[in-house]
Amino acid sequence: MKKHISVFELMVRSNFYTVLVLLTVMVGLQSGLFLFALNRGFTGESFGLEYIFEKSHIELVFFGAFIAMDLLLRESIGYDSNGKHHYTLMRLSVTRKEVYYWHFISNVLYYLLFFTVQILTIVMFGMIYMKYAPAEYITGQTLFLACYRYDLLHSLLPLGDFPYLIRNILVLVAVSLYSACYPKEYSSKEGKEGKTKKQKNRNNQFTPFVFIPIMFLGEFGDYFYCNFLIIFCVVYILWKIFAIRKAELESRQEETIGKAEN
> 196 lies in a domain?
no
Cβ–Cβ < 8 Å for 158, 168: yes
Output DSSP code: residue 133.
S
What's the confidence (pLDDT) of residue 220? 52
> 197 lies in a domain?
no
- Judge whether residue 226 has pLDDT over 50: yes
Angle between helices 58-76 and 162-179 (to 10 degrees): 40
CA angle 133, 152, 127 (to 5 degrees): 25
Cβ–Cβ < 8 Å for 67, 210: yes
> 237 lies in a domain?
yes
- Give the integer Cα–Cα distance in Å for 234 and 242: 12
The mean predicted confidence, pLDDT, of the chain is 76
Of 14-23, 59-68, 96-105, the range with the lowest mean pLDDT is 96-105
- Give the integer Cα–Cα distance in Å for 142 and 49: 8
CB count within 10 Å of CB 78 equals 22
- In this structure, the dihedral spanned by the alpha carbons of residues 192, 193, 197 and 202, taken in order and rounded to 10 degrees, is 10
Phi, psi of 64 (to 5 degrees): -65, -40
Of 79-83, 163-167, 239-243, the range with the lowest mean pLDDT is 79-83
Residue 104 domain boundaries: 2-185+204-261
Of 17-31, 60-74, 173-187, 205-219, the range with the lowest mean pLDDT is 205-219
CA angle 233, 239, 244 (to 5 degrees): 125
pLDDT tens for 170-213 read 989 998 988 887 766 534 344 444 444 444 444 344 454 555 66
> 109 lies in a domain?
yes
Output DSSP code: residue 138.
-
Angle between helices 58-76 and 96-132 (to 10 degrees): 160
> 48 lies in a domain?
yes
Mean pLDDT of 68-82: 68
pTM metric for this prediction: 0.80
Cβ–Cβ < 8 Å for 7, 102: yes
> 142 lies in a domain?
yes
> 226 lies in a domain?
yes
Helices (H), 133-223: 142-149, 151-156, 162-179, 191-203, 212-215
> 129 lies in a domain?
yes
If one counts the domains in the chain, the total is: 1
